[in-house]
Chains A and B, each alone.
Chain A
Amino acid sequence: MDLKAQNKWGWMIAVYLFLAGLGAGAYFTGVVASFMEGEGWSAAAKIGLVLGWPCVFVGAMFLIADLGTPKNFWRAFMKPGTSWVARGTIVISIFMALNALHFLVWIIGGWDATEGARQVIGVLGAVFAFGTMVYTGLLLGANRPIAFWSTALVPVLFLVSALSTGMMAVMLVAIIGGESHEGAIASLARLDIMLIVLEIVIVAAYLQGAHRVPESRASAKLVLNGAVAPLFWFGVALVGLAVPLVFELLGVYGLDGSGASAATVVAAIGGLIGGLILRRVVLAGGIQAPLRAGRFEFALPEMRG
């Protein structure tokens, strides 16, 4: 029996899932940073606010471009009760609106004068940012025939990856913008090290848990040992997890000054590339269950059209 992976959600959807997570994660980081006192935190907060909704917006454009009939995309707003795609569309839109409002309040009222208002909007926005990060995984989890997606670990994995990539994007922009690798950036890097370790544990548990039914076993084989394996081992394991972990450890504990900054830049670029490839790997590993009749198992034909 030759089970075939889905081929209808490809790179475009991977970019959408990645950017939606990245934007929400960056905004979430920014809101947390806006509650902190000390060197560099207000810069981190501002970067998070600026990165947030534009990333999600660009991601949504990729989603719309992937639709069969993009002119109908607005209909996804009309029936929120129907499905995860519809509910997620609304959550993401509210997130973008709150983030934009947050940004406007800052620009019109000034940074220091609007602290109270910003924190109120920020807490509300962070709730919807959380929803956006989790939703990118729930979207896949809603597909019961695809056991590789239909597990509670996918939303958790995407949440942690979104927080981590969002944080790395904030650090990357901060360092490029001339912030030193001290204060806020060093604290974020320490936090991110924990997130990366957590992500490694989740990826391992996720792939281990795939050894349950034939279709998810086929998925795990495809990802670890099949056509998707180069992407997984090189893109996710090496570039997306090992490189950021090592270079952030170097940046925090090994190097000082510009060396630490350079290490963090390398870590962040690797982490961002890995975050995108992680989405692609999970999508490309999606295999539908075989149909069973008597002692026969029928693999569904490859998706065409």
Chain B
Amino acid sequence: MPRYGFVIDLKRCYGCYSCQVACKAANFTPQGIDWARCVPAETGSFPVALRQMLPLVCQQCKEPACKEVCPTGATTQDENGIVLVDKDLCMGCKACLMACPYGARQTVGEWQTYYPHADGGLDPYESYAKKQWEKKNGYGMATKCDYCKDRVADGRKPACVESCPAKARTFGDLEDPESDVSMLIRRESGFQLNPEFGTDPACFYLPPR
């Protein structure tokens, strides 16, 4: 069985937020909920200062901190290493939000319109998105990135990987030593974020400049 993983090349990312938007379009996440995100940071001080973006997705850890604190058994791992939340089992205690070191989990209150001042409620596009969201997800429980599981099952790549104009993101099988992700990790010294939490993420990063 493959273990799906990401390699994100920090040298290539220039922070255009395409991944964040593409994820929203593909997964119909409600307002304020982003399964793929870009986080900026700066280092140094004028005149020698640097800015770097960190694109985040769920790290699909082998030892997920979120699963360790989940009291209802709603959090599971599938055969590809993807960490999933069963929306019918989750009670929305938010323990996983506190335990995840990568901020990968968010809870959804209710569907909020983007156009609160418009007449006539949700526009057709919003109602469509709301319907799609409710089909697979819902409100109150924790939600998270699943590496676009359904798209991958159809032979496509996750939406954020397809959309990245800098080609900073690579998706593949970590178990296969010949896969693009495995080669990149070996050749360009890929690393995992904050290994001190013992989570063993499936998302690897290539060092920034």
Binding site for B on A (CB under 8 A): 1, 6, 8-9, 67-70, 72-73, 75-76, 78-79, 82-86, 89, 139, 142-146, 149, 286, 288-289, 291-301, 303-305
Q: Is B52 an interface residue (CB 8 A)?
A: yes
Instruction: Report B-chain residues with C-beta under 8 Å of the C-beta of A83.
Output: 68-71, 95
Q: Which of A73, A84, A301 contacts B103 (CB 8 A)?
A: A301
Q: Is the CB of B69 within 8 A of A75?
A: no
Q: Is the CB of A1 within 8 A of B41?
A: yes
Q: Is the CB of B99 within 8 A of A72?
A: no
Are A296 and B91 CB-contacts (below 8 A) given A79-B73, A286-B98? Answer: no
Q: Complex formed: what's the CA distance from A69 to B137 in Å?
A: 13
Q: Is B133 an interface residue (CB 8 A)?
A: no
> What total of chain B residues lie within 8 Å of the partner, measured CB to CB?
53
Q: Is the CB of B205 within 8 A of A293?
A: yes
Are A293 and B93 CB-contacts (below 8 A) given A68-B142, A69-B141, A304-B32? Answer: no
Q: Is the CB of A145 within 8 A of B101?
A: yes
CB distance from A40 to the nearest CB of B (A): 41
Q: Complex formed: what's the CA distance from A78 to B43 in Å?
A: 47
Q: Is the CB of B90 within 8 A of A68?
A: yes
Instruction: Report B-chain residues with C-beta under 8 Å of the C-beta of A70.
Output: 91-92
Q: Is the CB of B39 within 8 A of A300?
A: yes
Q: Is the CB of A305 within 8 A of B32?
A: yes
Instruction: Report A-chain residues with C-beta under 8 Å of the C-beta of B100.
Output: 145
Instruction: Report B-chain residues with C-beta under 8 Å of the C-beta of A298.
Output: 39-41, 54
Q: Complex formed: what's the CA distance from A295 to B142 in Å?
A: 32
Q: Complex formed: what's the CA distance from A82 to B101 in Å?
A: 19
Q: Which of B54, B102, B106, B108 contacts A293 (CB 8 A)?
A: B54
Q: Is the CB of A291 within 8 A of B33?
A: no
Q: Is the CB of A68 within 8 A of B101?
A: no
Instruction: Report B-chain residues with C-beta under 8 Å of the C-beta of A76.
Output: 71-72, 91, 93
Q: Which of A1, A78, A288, A297 contacts B72 (CB 8 A)?
A: A78
Q: Is B37 an interface residue (CB 8 A)?
A: yes
Q: Is the CB of A86 within 8 A of B92?
A: no
Instruction: Report B-chain residues with C-beta under 8 Å of the C-beta of A73.
Output: 91
Q: Is the CB of A85 within 8 A of B101?
A: no
Are A142 and B71 CB-contacts (below 8 A) given A68-B91, A297-B41? Answer: no
CB distance from B144 to the nearest CB of A (A): 11
Are A86 and B103 CB-contacts (below 8 A) given A69-B140, A144-B197? Answer: no
Q: Is the CB of B98 within 8 A of A67?
A: no
Q: Is the CB of A144 within 8 A of B103?
A: no
Instruction: Report B-chain residues with C-beta under 8 Å of the C-beta of A292.
Output: 193-194
Are A6 and B97 CB-contacts (below 8 A) given A78-B73, A304-B33? Answer: yes
Instruction: Report A-chain residues with C-beta under 8 Å of the C-beta of B121.
Output: none
Q: Is B65 an interface residue (CB 8 A)?
A: yes
Are A303 and B90 CB-contacts (below 8 A) given A82-B71, A291-B194? Answer: no
Q: Is the CB of A143 within 8 A of B99?
A: yes
Q: Complex formed: what's the CA distance from A301 to B38 in Å?
A: 9
Q: Is the CB of B97 within 8 A of A8?
A: yes
Instruction: Report A-chain residues with C-beta under 8 Å of the C-beta of B89.
Output: 72, 75
Instruction: Report A-chain residues with C-beta under 8 Å of the C-beta of B56.
Output: 291
Q: Complex formed: what's the CA distance from A212 to B140 in Å?
A: 35
Q: Is the CB of B94 within 8 A of A9?
A: yes
Q: Is the CB of A294 within 8 A of B95?
A: no
Q: Which of A6, A85, A293 contacts B208 (CB 8 A)?
A: A293
Instruction: Report B-chain residues with C-beta under 8 Å of the C-beta of A142.
Output: 68-69, 95, 99
Instruction: Report B-chain residues with C-beta under 8 Å of the C-beta of A144.
Output: 65, 99, 101, 197-198
Are A296 and B72 CB-contacts (below 8 A) given A8-B94, A288-B101? Answer: no
Q: Is the CB of A69 within 8 A of B95?
A: no
Q: Is B113 an interface residue (CB 8 A)?
A: no
Instruction: Report A-chain residues with C-beta under 8 Å of the C-beta of B205.
Output: 293
Which of A9, A72, A89, A297 is most buried by chain B, counting CB atoms within 10 A of its CB? A72
Give A69's nearest chain B residue, CB to CB. B140
Q: Complex formed: what's the CA distance from A301 to B68 in Å?
A: 23
CB distance from B84 to the nearest CB of A (A): 15
Q: Complex formed: what's the CA distance from A85 to B99 in Å?
A: 12
Give A283's nearest chain B residue, CB to CB. B98
Q: Is B139 an interface residue (CB 8 A)?
A: yes
Instruction: Report A-chain residues with C-beta under 8 Å of the C-beta of B193.
Output: 291-293
Are A288 and B103 CB-contacts (below 8 A) given A68-B142, A293-B54? Answer: yes
Instruction: Report B-chain residues with C-beta under 8 Å of the C-beta of A301.
Output: 37, 39, 103
Q: Is the CB of A67 within 8 A of B208?
A: no
Q: Is B207 an interface residue (CB 8 A)?
A: yes
